A and B are shown apart, each in its own frame.
Chain A
Amino acid sequence: MLNFFQLILIYAGIYALMAIGQNCITGYTGMLSLCHAGFFCIGSYATAIICKTFGLSFWLSLPVAAVATGLVGLIIGIPTLRLKGDYLCIATLGLGEIIRNVATNFNPVGYNSIPRASLFGYQFASRNKLAFIFLIWAFVLIFYILFQQLAHSRLGRAMIAVREDEVAAQSNGINVTKYKISSFVLGAAMGGIAGCLQTAYTLTVQPGSFTFMVSVMVLCTVVLGGMGNGKAVILGAFIIQFISYLPQLTGLTNVIPAQAKQIIYGLLLVVMMLWRPQGILGRDKYRYGDPRTRMEKLSDFFRRDKKGSRAKGGAV
């Protein structure tokens, strides 16, 4: 039981990293992309090749995986991001499959017994789950902060403008293509980082594990939590992983088939679309049009007075 909870924590962390990337693409810039499995795959392969084939450190493979995935995102992004809505969705779906097939042909058996990652002499072994929980959630925290900062910066503002109305964004002097591509590249790089960390945990890479289902799960995570909301996305990752391990947790693996979770995801999405299309937490309420400093926001949050300064702050 504890074992499964630890497993959920690890995979929730990995999916939270991917969801942060997906949130950048879908939540901020409003592009419906379905190829995070592909980015995940590139990150995993890059790590496997660097650690196993070249025998280099895991810590080197991390930035390489991020940059390699980002570059693929850039190459894919330039032609496909001209498409809109459903068309972009179909194009990215196809690209995810292309990446998976290229990887399968490149190395059909995958990689096994990849050297472990180590930090200050400590070796991260797969059976020591607690160490991985700390490692992965440290990354989630770092990237959560980096992307929150991004969302609040000028770049994030421009992305939101592109999501809200492309034509109006152009008339405001916003280079729509540039922001779409930067958002896509950043989101893709997050997929690469998640793939890298998963490889460090499982120490194997199998081309069969980067199916379309992974992309759907990542998108579900974002939609479920709330598009464009950093915290919500992490909450979504927990819920999705919890559902995914439900049969094992309840000890009903014999009764509930593994495919049942796909039905539950589908059901969950339908229910969400009907009753709460903005996601569980919805979009961030205070964003740009709030004159308070971070410290003021924090103190207002703890003070929680009913009218007063909080109401002054913004639209509730």
Chain B
Amino acid sequence: MRILETEHLTREFGGVIAVNDVDFHVEKGLVTGLIGPNGAGKTTLFNQITGMDRPTSGKVIFDGKDITGLPAWKISRLGIARTFQNIRLYKELTVVENVMMGLHFKVGKDPFHHRFAQAVKSYVFASRENREVYHKAMEWLSFFELEEHAQDFAGSLPYGKQRELEIARALAAEPKLLFLDEPAAGMNPSETAHLMHVVDKIRNLGVTVVLIEHDMKLVMNICDNITVLNFGIKIAEGTPNEIKKDKGVIEAYLGREEEE
């Protein structure tokens, strides 16, 4: 079953077509990789889907609903969470506070009067509400084995841990679909190995994962499906083994063999 589909998605920046007529789709419960050389339009595609940017044309369909052009916060509330290529943590807040921000809402729609009552309750009993959210956040931190850093400032964590914290914050909202933008960038091999383990754990929670990654070993190991972009155009999709043998992909990465 497809949880996410884009139809003829296009994004132009002036004369540059960053994403060109892409039909990208994600199967529910699987890990999908999105790869391609630098400037291929991977992050732009992410931004179109998560509402950080509006597509020039085309559609994004999530869970059977058309979400094209919705504001980012609404899309997050529908159940799409993401991390960023250049880490965007609340650096001056502590680690546990960062995850608490991720718990700002729960996926789903409550009627207005219910939400209003909750807002009043959270104001009058702020201290109690805070503690409830705090304990939930601590559960997520222990899931990511970050609880010992709970009271450190997010900006002071080592790089790999910051990436994991960002994933923890995104996952705290209990999304259906999680986008990871280059989660292993700048990580050392042992951190990358730990990341693989984390992604596995997330998959076991029943969350569908889409990741952009340049680390081919990681992509080939954990992805069930891979889509390849080059110059904004989808050039291949399939299982890791199919992608490894695909001529178009090899050309995109290594260049064409000279013909004699």
**Which residues in A have some Cβ–Cβ distance to B below 8 Å?**
149-150, 152-158, 160-161, 164-165, 167-176, 283, 287-291, 293-294, 314-315
- The chain A residue sitting closest to B78, CB to CB, is A173
CA distance A175 to B105 in the complex (A): 11
Residues A315 and B100 in contact in the complex (CB < 8 Å), given A149-B123, A154-B119, A167-B88: no
* B124: chain A residues within 8 A (beta carbon): 149
CA distance A6 to B89 in the complex (A): 47
Q: How many whole Å from B232's CB to the nearest CB in chain A?
A: 23
- The chain A residue sitting closest to B130, CB to CB, is A288
* B131: chain A residues within 8 A (beta carbon): 291, 293
Residues A289 and B150 in contact in the complex (CB < 8 Å), given A158-B104, A167-B52: yes
- The chain A residue sitting closest to B120, CB to CB, is A153
Docked-complex contact A155 and B169, CB < 8 angstroms = no
* A152: chain B residues within 8 A (beta carbon): 126-127, 130
Docked-complex contact A171 and B82, CB < 8 angstroms = yes
Docked-complex contact B129 and A173, CB < 8 angstroms = no
CB pairs A–B below 8 angstroms (10 shown): A153-B123, A154-B123, A154-B129, A161-B90, A164-B92, A168-B101, A172-B73, A175-B73, A289-B95, A294-B127
B73 contacts which of A160, A164, A174, A293 (Cβ < 8 Å)?
A174
A173 contacts which of B77, B93, B127, B151 (Cβ < 8 Å)?
B77
Docked-complex contact A171 and B170, CB < 8 angstroms = yes
B90 contacts which of A150, A153, A164 (Cβ < 8 Å)?
A164
User: Could you count the A-B residue pairs with CB atoms below 8 Å apart for me: how many are there?
Assistant: 121
* A169: chain B residues within 8 A (beta carbon): 73, 101
CA distance A149 to B128 in the complex (A): 12
Docked-complex contact A172 and B76, CB < 8 angstroms = yes
Determine chain A's interface SS by DSSP, over half rule.
helix
The 3 closest A-B CB pairs, nearest first, are: A164-B90, A173-B76, A170-B72
Docked-complex contact B169 and A172, CB < 8 angstroms = yes
Q: How many whole Å from B89's CB to the nearest CB in chain A?
A: 7
Docked-complex contact A165 and B127, CB < 8 angstroms = no
Docked-complex contact A153 and B170, CB < 8 angstroms = no
Q: Is B173 positioned at the interface, with any CB of A under 8 Å from its CB?
A: yes
Docked-complex contact A153 and B72, CB < 8 angstroms = no
In this complex, the interface size class of chain B, counting residues with CB under 8 Å from chain A, is 35 or more
**A149-B123, A153-B126, A173-B77 known, 7 other contacts, Cβ within 8 Å:** A164-B90, A164-B92, A165-B89, A168-B89, A173-B104, A289-B97, A315-B153
Q: Is B84 positioned at the interface, with any CB of A under 8 Å from its CB?
A: yes
Docked-complex contact A167 and B76, CB < 8 angstroms = no
Question: Which interface residue of B72, B88, B92 has the most chain A CB atoms within 10 A?
Answer: B72
Question: Which interface residue of A160, A168, A174 has the most chain B CB atoms within 10 A?
Answer: A168
* A149: chain B residues within 8 A (beta carbon): 123-124, 126
Residues A170 and B73 in contact in the complex (CB < 8 Å), given A289-B97, A289-B100: yes
Docked-complex contact B73 and A176, CB < 8 angstroms = yes
CA distance A156 to B170 in the complex (A): 20
* A156: chain B residues within 8 A (beta carbon): 126
Residues A157 and B76 in contact in the complex (CB < 8 Å), given A168-B88, A172-B169: no
Docked-complex contact B134 and A289, CB < 8 angstroms = yes
* B150: chain A residues within 8 A (beta carbon): 289
Q: Is B39 positioned at the interface, with any CB of A under 8 Å from its CB?
A: no
Q: Is B41 positioned at the interface, with any CB of A under 8 Å from its CB?
A: no
Docked-complex contact B104 and A174, CB < 8 angstroms = yes
* A293: chain B residues within 8 A (beta carbon): 127-128, 131
Docked-complex contact B104 and A289, CB < 8 angstroms = no
Docked-complex contact A171 and B104, CB < 8 angstroms = no
Docked-complex contact A171 and B76, CB < 8 angstroms = yes
Docked-complex contact B93 and A164, CB < 8 angstroms = yes
Residues A170 and B102 in contact in the complex (CB < 8 Å), given A164-B91, A315-B152: no
List residues of B (66-111) whose CB comes within 8 Å of A's CBs.
71-73, 76-77, 81-82, 84, 88-97, 100-102, 104-105
Q: Is B241 positioned at the interface, with any CB of A under 8 Å from its CB?
A: no
* A283: chain B residues within 8 A (beta carbon): 92
* B20: chain A residues within 8 A (beta carbon): none
Residues A172 and B97 in contact in the complex (CB < 8 Å), given A153-B126, A167-B84, A291-B135: no
